Amino acid sequence: MQFYVQMRAKSREPDSPIAITARQLEALIRLAEAEAKMRLSPVVEAEDADRAIRLFMKYLSSVGIDVESGKIDIDIIMTGKPKSTQERMALIMNLLAQLEESSGGKPVRIEDLYKEAEAAGLDRQAVDKAINMLLKSGDIYMPKPGYVKRYSFKFGLYIHGKKCLYSWKGKSGVVIDRLNAIITGLRNAVTLTVERLTERLRELNIEVPNEETIGDWGWSVISKAMEAGIISLSDADIDAMYYVFRRCAILEEMVRETLARPGEVDENFVNNLMDDFRENVEALARVRERINQLLS
């Protein structure tokens, strides 16, 4: 317990990352118990705790060090990103939100983002790294070369440069909110992906029938556009795009089934659905990029 208190004390320093959480304390207890069992002892002694702490510190020193600050950061293990990186990404998102607001919601020139970030103390290399990570995570997308824009349906809110996510409240309405957010996000992402095709179909007075899922509807738009000669896809393009929209359809079906029994769902399952959603958004962004190439 003394070790845990000392590690937590390090986190109280200004701008310091979280060095250890209660979850790691539980892991230390289990490690100490395992050490005692290896000695065939029914009682955990101080030497068992010391060995557990040495093993834990060895693990942290190999995978839990923020290379920028040199400090132990448990966020690297818990989220895959150190506190410094998360704060930099949150700053970029906050600057992007301000620039979008000043431009009336239009995409933001990356050069303008560079200038704002430089004034906030970030160099171009740091901005490029943050942009790439945000693109991969599905927080932003590139509507055209040299411009970026936020997805308006992301689960997180950026307030004063800090990312504020939904808190988990077991069987409360937050579960339903997160599940509904996935469906809304899918609809927005698919609609954005085929936006130019639907405009061309509308100009030709070609209607796209409603489908049970937004993924199936998106594929119907692609099919109608091919029939109308708006785009010509290779077999590889057809297979890849069909796979993406089918995945979206399956995810929506899974979410709707889950909405029917929210009280039976645990946090990990909802988090997995959110991970699937982010992967689908990334895949849809690639489909949209390919469609824009074919239409240009």
Domains located in the chain, CATH noted: 2-77 (no CATH), 83-164 (1.10.10.10), 173-295 (1.20.120)
CB 92 within 8 A of CB 127: yes
**Selected residue with higher pLDDT from 13 and 224:** 224
Q: pLDDT value at position 157?
A: 34
Average pLDDT, the chain: 77
Burial 89-110 (b: 16+ CB within 10 A, else e): bbbbbbbbbebbeeeeeebbeb
Give the number of other CB atoms < 10 A from CB of residue 218.
29
Taking residues 282-296, report their average pLDDT: 90
Taking residues 179-190, report their average pLDDT: 87
Q: Is the pLDDT of residue 114 over 70?
A: yes
Q: pLDDT value at position 11?
A: 54
Name the most confidently modeled range: 15-24, 61-70, 134-143: 134-143
**Residue 180 pLDDT class (50, 70, 90 cuts):** confident
Question: pLDDT (tens digit, 9 = 90+) per residue, 247-275?
Answer: 899 889 888 888 887 666 666 777 778 88
Q: pLDDT value at position 169?
A: 37
Which of the residue ranges 79-83, 127-131, 284-288 would you say has the lowest mean pLDDT?
79-83
The model scores a pTM over 0.85:
no
CA 23, chain centre distance (Å): 22
